[in-house]
Structure 1
Amino acid sequence: MKAINTTQGIGGQLTEFRKLVEKSEKITFVGTAGFCTPFAELMAFVLRKSDKQMTFIPDLKFEEARSIISTSHGMQVGDSADPRADTVVLLGGLAMPKTGIEAGKMKEMTDRILDGSGRRLIIGICFQSIFQKMDWPDFIDFDYIIDADMTNQVLKI
């Protein structure tokens, strides 16, 4: 793996994501229910004016896929949707040890989502290199990983 670009903050992360999916037609985000859902909605927000179809799958629950739609409150999970897509975005919460999701099972999921697609793009979005720490690139053929670091500072005023 080699770094092809470095940016700062959420804006940089969103800009890089938008560039990577520029040619994508249908994007399926896969993440843990609750924890990753807002991250999928945030990533989808930068695509809200595009004609891209977007879907969210919680955990390994292919049958529970839901559309991601633009509303007056921002991007939100909507009705049931077909998760088959040309682009899969795996969110880092999946790789956290407490989820118990195995990389091999996620590989099967990505293959199922991408089945029949002429274009196959797999992007990982994570914090603190969780995909690399859990060796997911050994199982999943990521095209790109957007890896962010987060520093928190609590100030008493």
Structure 2
Amino acid sequence: MTSPSPLTGVTGILRPFKEYLQSLGLSPGDQIVYYGCVGTCTPFVELLAIAVRGLHLEQVYVPLLDEGKAKKLYEVPDAGMQVSSEPAVLNPRVLVIMGGLAMPYMPVTKEQVRDLSVRHNNAKLAGVCFQNMFEKAGWLDTVKFDLLINAMIEPVTVTRREH
């Protein structure tokens, strides 16, 4: 893995992700499978998916690690990428593990993610997290990411006008 470079903002997440997928020489129709938490990870999955829509890959969302619930992602005009109700058959070239899975109280272990990557042994493994979540959860000693994107969301400012 190369050393981190100083990227910022949303493009600092999306551009390296797209460049990584492009570097793999994927063909149209090859499958990217995102694994994440329902509700909190899905907006980020949809953001990653919209960034790579021009690569014409099949994109799939899996809640937690429950592959029986895999759903296809589609581009919706004037809205972006969205998870559909259409089930997907998995044949991934790239697995994308979202950092929400490593948060406390999630029913997912680093060993389960490691085993997932072994089961899909021809697939590359990417991780996308915020605030060093994979490191804080102790996953990096067990899960060997081919690409790891770690974004920071600090500081957050809130301005509220009183009425």
Q: What TM-score does the superposition give when structure 2 sets the normalisation length?
A: 0.87
1:155: which partner in 2?
A: 159
> What does the per-residue CA deviation read over 1:100-156, in whole Å, with 9 as the maximum and x for residues that have no partner?
3111012222333x24x3xx3111100011101112121112112100110211123
Query: Does structure 1 residue 85 correspond to structure 2 residue 111?
Result: no
Deviation at 1:2, TM superposition (A): 5.3
Q: Which runs of 5+ in 2 are unaligned?
A: none
1:111 & 1:28 partners in 2: Cα distance? Answer: 15
Deviation at 1:35, TM superposition (A): 1.0
Tell whether the 8 Å contact from 1:56 to 1:83 is kept in structure 2 after alignment: no
Query: Does structure 1 residue 63 correspond to structure 2 residue 68?
Result: yes
Query: Does structure 1 residue 17 correspond to structure 2 residue 17?
Result: yes
Q: What's the Cα RMSD here?
A: 1.5
- Counterpart of 1:111, as a letter, is V
Q: What TM-score does the superposition give when structure 1 sets the normalisation length?
A: 0.90
1:43: which partner in 2?
A: 48
Pick from 30, 33, 36 the counterpart of residue 31 of structure 1. 36
Residues 108-147 of structure 1 mapped to structure 2, 5 A cutoff? 108-112=115-119, 114-115=120-121, 117=122, 120-147=123-150
1:155 & 1:2 partners in 2: Cα distance? Answer: 38
Deviation at 1:26, TM superposition (A): 1.6
Size of the alignment, in residue pairs?
A: 153
Deviation at 1:49, TM superposition (A): 2.1
After superposition, the Cα gap between the structure-2 partners of 1:2 and 1:49, relative to the gap in structure 1 and judged at 3 Å, is closer
1:105: which partner in 2?
A: 112
Identity of aligned residues (%): 29
2:81: which partner in 1?
A: 75
Query: Post-superposition, which runs of at least 4 consecutive aligned residues in structure 1 deviate over 3 A?
Result: none
Partner of 1:137, secondary structure, is: coil
1:144 & 1:137 partners in 2: Cα distance? Answer: 12
Partner of 1:154, secondary structure, is: coil
- Decide which structure has the larger Cα Rg and report it: 2
- Counterpart of 2:135, as a letter, is Q
Q: Which runs of 5+ in 1 are unaligned?
A: none
